[in-house]
Structures are given as structure tokens and as C-alpha cells.
Structure 1
Amino acid sequence: MKRIVILISILGLALNGHAQILKKIQRKMEDKVEKSVDGILNGKTEEKNQQPNAGIPGTTGPKTAGTFDILTKSEPFIAGNVLLFEDSLNYDTPGHMAKYWQTNSTGTVVEINGAPGKWLKLADQASYQLDTLLHLPQKFTLEFDLLTRASEAKDLRSIDFGFSKNNSTRKYIYGVANETNVYTSLQYYYETINTTSNNNNNQSRIEFPLSNYANAIMHVSVSVDGSRMQVYIDDHKVLDATVLDPQVPKHFFLSTENYRNNAVALISNLRIYGF
């Protein structure tokens, strides 16, 4: 009888010890599962929170867009579909003043190595307008190419273009003059583009890498729709504002400042479209 009791006791102790071992194993398994689940969940969370470039050598996360980048994402310039005026200077004689232009100074049609076509060389401290009383509608687009030759872009000082209230170049056209409707100033020495309206005193100033245009062709596009005007330099929009009075006459003009160090500016491929 005692042997039976002893065997039962030993068996109970064995079963109890075995149960304890099973509990320990179960706890370890549960801990591993919990850690695995936490790891998976944390991994997904970190993956969601991780920046696109994180973990890639040489990167520091997404780059914020600068002024120039933002400009490149603007709506594209759309030219009109009805040609009102075009002058590529193809029928002008080199060495003479362009026949469709007038100035308070002088100008010469030239051909430039590395730049196709003919160009009107613009004298410094001079203003230029079309030698025609072209009536511009309420909605139109205007484009031209501006070619520069300079050791440094800042030697061009500034070049202004815009719309005057009359078509007279008997004297130099200043942007701030009462005769000026609105003008945009390419200020090479400040690397800014400023637009000023003499109709509502609206002013715009934007930084732009004009130093890149010391020896390059710049394509300028202007879109006018009533009182609203947009200006593009190549594909970059630099103005979109209400600056015009639809009732005030608009005559395109361009004025240069005193060049430095033999810098030169030239214009060609003027096109005006209506809709």
C-alpha cells in the first residue's frame, strides 16, 4: 500500500513538473509570437513613415521645390491660332535697319555665327517698336527670341519690354513713364524679373537665373487676355497677374540700357497671334 502511495506521489510530482515545463515552453512561444507580430507591425509602420529616399546612400529624403522648380510646373504657354504679324527678318538686308521696326537710336540687321537666321542688333540705351499701327485685340499672344553676347550676363544691365500707350519712338521709352502701359524688366545684374503696371500699380518681382543667358537665345512669350497678362521665359512662367486696362492702347516696345564690356543684345522671330 505504501508503495502505491509513493508511486502516486512520484507520478504527481512528475506530472506537475512536466506541466510547469509545458507552461514555460508555452510562455516562450507566446513571447516569440508577440515579438514577431510587433516586429511585423513596427516594420510596416516604419516603412510607411520612411521617406522615399531614406536608406539610399547620398540622399536625405524628398527635396523641396525651389522657385525655379515651381515655375517649371506651371501651365504651359499656348499661342493663338490666328497670325496677325510675323517678322523673322528674312527679307531684310544685313547692315541696314529692319524695315518693320523703328527706333529713337539705330539698329542693324546682322547674321551671327551659331545662331540661325537674321537678327536685329539693338543699340544700347535705345527703344524699339514696330513701324506699323497694328491693332492688338483683347486676347492675343506675342513671342520673340532675344539673343545675347556678353562675357557676363550682368554686363547687359537690364532689358525692358512691354506695351506703350502710343507707337512713337521719338524719344527713349522708360518703363516708369506715363506713356508706358505695362513693362517687364529683365534685370540681369540682380537676376530678377520685375513687372510693373502703370494702370493699377500692380508690381511683381521674381528671382530668375538670368546669368544663364550671357550667351544664349531666350524665348519670350506673352499672353494677354483682357486685363490679365502672362509672361514666360522659355517654358517658365514668371508673371500671371491683372496688370492691363483693356481700354488703354497697347503697342509693343523694347528698351535697352547702357551695355558694359561690349555686351550685345539682338531680337528676331517676332510673332503675334490672335484667337
Structure 2
Amino acid sequence: MKRIIILISVLGIAFHSHAQILKKIQRKVEGKVEKSVEDLLNGETTEKNPQSTTNMPETAGPKTAGKFEILTKSEPFKAGHVLLFEDSLNYDTPGRMAKYWQTNSTGTVVEISGAPGKWLKLADQASYQLDTLLHLPQKFTLEFDLLTRANEAKDLRSIDFGFSKNNSTRKYIYGVANETNVYTSLQYYYETINTTSNYNNNQSRIEFPLSNYANAIMHVSVSVDGSRMQVYIDEHKVLDATVLDPRAPKHFFLSTENYRQNAVALISNLRIYGF
């Protein structure tokens, strides 16, 4: 009888221990299941997940857009090689109007400290053209220097240049006038350069740091090839578009607006080349 009681006790103890082991195993299994569910809800993946970013090769992962480099640079300005006209004002008398220019207002050849050579001082609200009936070919280049003196560049307001269909300065030349083929406007107060074609209504607008030209020399280069025109400010191309009527006459003009705070604009070193 005692042996039976002892056997029952041993079996009870063994069953209790086995039950405790089973509970521990069950808790571990439940813990792993809960952890897997939690990882799934948090967007994490297990080793069995084929989309796991930890197991994917680097080439298969998402790529971050990097910086790119433009290998093709802007075409530089190329002047023609056949001189058609040149005026550096070297043979003009200071205090008089430049002999190769005409205007609806007035102008004075001057010498400026800090700027070599002679310059034609441009009155405000005035237009200027060459006093010659120079016939410009279908393909040519034109360059000039524009010198400014101002407290702030915006005091110059705007200076327009382009090509008119006639060579008359009996009145002020507005860029929007029907007589104008195309004109480029240096809008100092907006720091933009606008080009408008009265031939095909093509309009261009580009931001440019014109505030840097309150007291500086700006070199302007224009290249014309049929109906296409390119404009460069120093070495920066600001226009490359079809804007000209190739059949219409082309006479260079320049117009100033009302200056402010005693600002001054001057022009010199005009050169026109053919090919």
C-alpha cells in the first residue's frame, strides 16, 4: 500500500513538473508570436520576408536622386571676322555730340575717370542710332560697352536696345512700336532682361543680377543669323531664339528711360562684324 502511495506521489510530482515545462514552452511560443505580430505592424520584417531591406543587396534597394552635372556648356559668343563698322569715339571732341550718332535729344562725348577711352553720355528719355545707312547682312555680330554711374542700379530704370525697321530718330523709339523689329530691355529695377519680338510675338524673360552694374562696364554682344538672335551680357547668354523678321531692314537703336538720383549711362566701343 505504501508503495502505491509513493508511486502516485512520484507520478504527481512528475506530472506537475511536466505541466510547468509545458507552460514555459507555451509562454515562449506566445511571446515569439506576439513579437512577430508586433514587428509586422511596425513595418519590420523577419528573415523569411523576401522584401527585407536587411537581406536585399544594395543594388536592389531604393536609390536616392543625386546631383547631376551638365556636361554640355553654353555656346560662347563668336564675333564675325569682317569688320563692317567700328566707333570707339577716339576722334570725337569731348563736349560735343558724337559725329557717327544721331538722337532725338542730346548727347555729349566725355571722358570718365576710372574708365579708359571716350564715352557718349546718353540723356534720359532719349533714343540713339547710327548716323549712317549701313546695310546689315543676314548674318553679323554687334558689340558695345555700356558704362553706368548710379547710387543704385535701379536708378537707371531700364535701357532698351535692338533693331528698328528705319533709321530715324525724329522721335523717341519705343520697343513696342511697330517700327521696331525686336528689342531687349535691361530692366534694372526688376533685375530681369526681357526680349520682345514684334515679328512673331516671341517673348523672353530671364533673371539677371543687374544690381551689380550700378558703377561698372557691361559688355553686350549680339549675334544675328537670319531670324535667330543671340544676346550675351559679358560672357553670359541671355537670349537664343527666333525673334527677327529676316526680310525687314535692321537698324541698331538704343533708348534710355527717365533716370533717377542723377544716374548716368554711357556707350562706347561699338563694333559690327560680318562673315
| TM-score, length of structure 1 as denominator length | 0.75
Corresponding residue number in structure 1 for 2:268: 268
Structure 2 equivalent of residue 193 of structure 1: 193
CA distance in 1, matches of 2:67, 2:196: 36
1:104 equivalent in structure 2: 104
Q: 1:240 aligns to what SS in structure 2?
A: strand
Counterpart check, 1:204 vs 2:230: no
Partner of 2:15: none
SS in 2 for 1:185: strand
User: 1:64 deviation in Å?
Assistant: 8.4
Q: 1:248 Cα deviation (Å)?
A: 0.3
CA deviation vs aligned residue, 1:127-179 (integer Å, no higher than 9, x gap):
00000000000000000000000000000000000000000000000000011
Q: Distance in 2 between matches of 1:261 and 1:64?
A: 44
Residue type at the aligned position of 1:230: Q
Question: Unaligned regions of 5+ residues in structure 2, if any?
Answer: 1-53
- CA distance, structure 1, for counterparts of residue 75 and residue 114 of structure 2: 31
In 1, Cα distance between equivalents of 2:272 and 2:240:
19
CA distance in structure 2 between the partners assigned to 1:116 and 1:256 by the alignment: 23
Instruction: Give the unaligned 5+ runs of structure 1.
Output: 1-37, 52-60
The one-letter code sitting in structure 1 at the alignment partner of 2:192 is: T
SS where residue 147 of structure 2 aligns? strand
Deviation of 1:109 (Å) = 0.3
List aligned pairs for 1:214-225, cutoff 5 A.
214-225=214-225
Q: How far apart, CA to CA, are the structure 2 residues paired with 1:229 and 1:120? A: 26
Distance 1:63 1:258, change over 3 A: farther
Map of 1:87 onto structure 2: 87
- CA shift, 1:211, in A, is 0.3
Whose helix proportion is higher, 1 or 2? 1
Equivalent position amino acid for 1:227 in 2: S
- For the pair 1:257 / 2:257, whether they are aligned, the reply is yes
Alignment of 1:55-94 (within 5 A): 73-94=73-94
Letter of the 1:145 partner, please give it: D
The one-letter code sitting in structure 2 at the alignment partner of 1:123 is A
Distance 1:181 1:261 in 2: 32
Distance in 2 separating the partners of 1:189 and 1:63: 33
Give 1:11-160 correspondences, 5 Å limit: 73-160=73-160
Write out the 4+ residue segments of structure 1 that deviate beyond 2 Å after TM superposition: 61-65
Q: CA deviation at 1:74?
A: 1.1
Q: Which residue of 1 aligns with 2:228?
A: 228
The Cα offsets for residues 198-253 of structure 1, whole Å up to 9 and x where unpaired, read as: 01111000000000000000000000000000000000000000001110000000
Q: In the TM superposition, what is the alpha-carbon distance from 1:50 to its structure 2 partner?
A: 9.5
| Equivalent position of 2:170 in the other structure | 170
* Aligned counterparts of 1:81 and 1:200: Cα–Cα separation in 2: 30
2:177 is paired with a residue whose SS is coil
Distance of 2:244 and 2:161 partners within structure 1 = 14
TM, length-normalised to structure 2: 0.75
CA distance in 1, matches of 2:68, 2:146: 33
**Aligned equivalents of 1:64, 1:158: Cα separation in 2:** 35
SS of equivalent residue, structure 2 residue 155: helix
> What RMSD in Å do the two structures reach over aligned CA positions?
2.3
Task: Output the CA distance in 1 between the equivalents of 2:222 and 2:234.
Answer: 11
Separation (CA, whole Å) in 2 of partners of 1:134 and 1:152: 36
Distance in structure 1 (CA, Å) of the matches to 2:178 and 2:93 = 35
Paired amino acid for 1:137: P
Offset at residue 78 of structure 1 (A): 0.1
Amino acid aligned to 1:210: L
Q: Name the CA distance, whole Å, in 1 between partners of 2:145 and 2:151.
A: 20
Change (3 A) 1:110 1:50: same
* Residue identity (%): 90
Whole-angstrom distance in 2 between the partners of 1:167 and 1:83: 21
**What is the distance in 2 between the residues matched to 1:199 and 1:215?**
34
Q: How far is 1:73 from its partner? A: 3.6
